[in-house]
Amino acid sequence: MGLVTTKEMLKKAYEGGYAIGSFNSDSLDIMNAVVSGAKRVDSPLIIAISEAVVKSMGPENAVSAAKTAAENAGLPIALHLDHSRNTDICKTCIDSGFTSVMIDASAYELEKNIAVTKEVVDYAHAHGVSTEGELGTLSGVEDDLVVDEKYGQFTRPADALEYVSRTGIDSLAIAIGTAHGAYKFKPGEKPQLRFDILEEVEKLLPGFPIVLHGASSVPKERLDIFNEYGGQLPEAIGIPPEMLREAASKAVCKINVATDIRVCYWGEIRRQLALHPGSFDRRSILQPALDAVADLVEAKISTVLGSAGKA
């Protein structure tokens, strides 16, 4: 099975009351580990590549690796450009064989966001590629995207309706209380998602797939390993898995996971370097980290996303 678009994948997720995991892959090794985790539980999968990683890896290399991984795994896999604010990069990825792209013009006011988004949507649809946009701004950091507000700006449901209607976008990321990075909430602060906003959007856009960005849970066991072996992420707090599962049972059909993978991967590398200070064998250090990523993906799919067995 080769690469597929996200449109039909997310339609099935909406109808089935589950979500597809969009797992950020910063390297080819991590990409393969993510696919391995999904394969264990027979789940469809979205491989997300950020704009910065596209620039360093090369779009053609990303497509070639993802195609091979999909064919070997026999899973429906989409290759998705994540959080691009550059229309030219979106078009380059489309031309290179990405099956899904996100144009993030959410920093603009609504009219310009619509205009920029529609330019990418029209180009993508002409090439048979799925599209994602965003309304409202998440707090935290996504590559070089920095927002200072504590929770960002929640999405207005009426804007969501206008945006989707006028752009023809295939899926929409909304801001309902998630945040990029490991520090989504202050210590002692109770995580909360605005399910009331999600339900209003769902009523205005019945059957339309919604996306959650900044939705890592920052598992304590992985955070503890990261910090025990020299990391400095004290008091990092994520979105509780039960909240994400509730979102996945509603209109949310795609949930992005980036921070969890990075904390898991680098925490395990820190541990292996500390336990084996005399080793200079790349595989002996990296393989346990990649295995940990595959375990994390498997657990997310099985306990949070609900997409196990849906391939």
pLDDT digits (tens, 9 = 90+) for 3-35: 999 999 999 999 999 999 999 999 999 999 999
Q: What is the pLDDT of residue 219?
A: 86
Answer whether residue 310 is part of any domain. Answer: no
The answer to the question of residue 1 being in a domain is: no
Q: Where are the beta strands (DSSP E) in 156-218?
A: 171-174, 210-212
Q: Is-catalytic flag, 88?
A: no
Structure tokens belonging to residue 85: 């604010």
Number of folded domains in the chain?
Answer: 1
Length of the chain: 311
Q: How many H-runs (helices) and E-runs (strands) does the chain carry?
A: 12, 10
Average pLDDT (128-134) is 97
Report if residue 125 sits inside a domain.
Answer: yes
Lowest mean pLDDT among 146-150, 210-214, 286-290: 146-150
- Report pTM: 0.91
Find the catalytic residue in 26, 29, 82, 260. 82
Query: Which band of pLDDT confidence, cut at 50, 70 and 90, is reported for residue 179?
Result: low
Helix (H) or strand (E) holding 71: helix 59-73
- 265-283 pLDDT tens trace: 999 999 999 999 998 899 9
**Assigned domain for 290 exists:** yes
Residue 311 lies in a domain: no
Domain around 140: 6-305
Both tokens of 281, joined, read 């064998």
CA nearest neighbour of 211 among 134, 136, 120, 110: 134
Residue type (1 letter), 215: A
**pLDDT surpassing 70 at residue 140:** no
CATH of the domain at 51: 3.20.20.70
Partnered with residue 153 across adjacent β-strands are: 137
pLDDT tens digits for 73-82? 999 999 999 9
Is it the case that residue 310 has pLDDT exceeding 50?
yes
Within-domain flag for 240: yes
Residue 76 domain-assigned?
yes
Q: DSSP 3-state assignment of 288?
A: helix
